[in-house]
Structure 1
Amino acid sequence: MTDPVERFSADALGVPAVGVRVMRPHLRTVDVHWHDYYELGLVISGEADHVVNGEALSLRAGDAFLLSPADFHAIRSRGEAPLTCYNTVVSAELMERQLAGLGAPASDGLPWLVPDLEGAAPDFERLQRELAEPRLGSARVAEAVVACLVVELARRAGVDDPGRGAPSPADADLRAAVLHVDRHFREPLTLAAVATIAHLSPNYFSERFRQYAGTSFQSYLQERRLRFARSLLVATALSVTEVCHAAGFNSLSHFGRAYRRRYGVAPSERHA
């Protein structure tokens, strides 16, 4: 079934091997969509309504944001002038390496929406230059600039320093598995397949997952899908059937029962 929410991919956008591409579009209206990469943006001029995961926000010059593959959004400019911004596509591999270096709170806290970050414009400009005219060390410079921008956004977004050393290899593998669920919950996922990411047997992974997340694998996956579905119902005019499949549910009846148990109303009763 075709995904009713438009999906942008890094491959379709021609992201180079370094894992970063910088664009500078003039936007009027961008309908609800999601992507398989991280989107790092900085507004240069103009104003817009920015709907992120169903929540309506404002965008103006100097505002910055970082969205993950688990987020969806739409942009509608205000007034006659378009919204001009740096729109930076960052591959999941590159961005998750940066987030991992900041500890668990960084990965858990996305999306980041940071006002008044105008001082970051020169960093975006340099990143664009390095990618437009690659030379000796450009890939390393590009990753370093992305790392600096991520640190600055994390600080401004109020991400706490965990104050701990590096996690054990076992915990790091488990966290990678949980992050995989967070980023790919719309896709068919099985406990056995995700257990391989943590290098654990399915039975032991199930036990460790419950200890780590405080709930079972299936409950965690369903909650992720339900939150996404609820946001789509609030933010779009998609039908319940379209939302069901966009959120990763295969059965409309199962989706309806799960939604009613979680939110106390049927998905057809759209609510904020």
Structure 2
Amino acid sequence: AILLHPEKLSHTPRDGALREPLLKVIHVMRSMGYKDDEDREVVLRDLSEVIGQFPYKAPSVFNFYLPEFQPDRFTGDLVGPEFEIFTTPAAIGLFNGLMSLIRKGLGDCDGGFGIHAPGCAQGRLTAGGSGSAEATLKELDLLLTGGRLNGSSSVVQHAYREAPEGAKVQAAQEAIVLSPEFHTLGSSAPAGRREAKKRREAPNPRSYKAVVMLYLGGGADTFNMIVPQKCPLYDEYVLARKNVALLPQQLIEISTDGQACKKFGVHAKLSFVKDLYDRKKAAFV
């Protein structure tokens, strides 16, 4: 009944689905012949904050995503539940982890999915070539996408061809796991003839603004990045920071309105941010 269902037999833009991130990780390890160096069981670190999914870590009894979730630009009753956890940070974490798995094995190096191990990895993918380049790429296509490589096939072939000897299979694996066919289910073939779009008149060029957010993680001492000046808040800051509090002469002064203090001090290493702030091209959030 499933194989003969109209949705399975038809090929329209409404078909298919985005694959769950954890299934993609396990898929690569199984299909590419992952083997532990000492024949131990596979140990993954908690990937909840890395790829958005991990066994027994669902945020609620309703699973990792809601069945009625509708991403932006989806119209009508078209839904994409798996897109709810396919955020930008999760996508980057997934891509970094897959690249680390292919290049270095399962470990914690370069955003890997594993735990710390001597020599970086607990084990590695063992899948090799199948003779000729054509046979190797055909096998990788079958194992990683179910033989659905379509528009991405030329990219994979180029990656394989340009890679040095000994790294060709890895290059092809990397290209495939970055392809749309690997991350989705359903037909990847063109669904009929594309409708011609009406040509639009090019608008007159105009100025624009790009929002660039600086995310500082790890050991960033944000209390000393921007410090209140010449107001009671500075005294509270000194009381809280004690011997690591910065003196006014160690900071770059800026002026502002609508805040508890009219003057703030920016860390001396962030002079470029002060320049952008003075030109009204930067803000502290």
Compute the TM-score of the two structures, normalised by the length of structure 1: 0.23
Larger radius of gyration: 2
Compute the TM-score of the two structures, normalised by the length of structure 2: 0.22
| Greater share of residues in helix | 1
Query: Which structure ranks higher in relative contact order (CA pairs < 8 Å, sequence separation ≥ 6)?
Result: 1
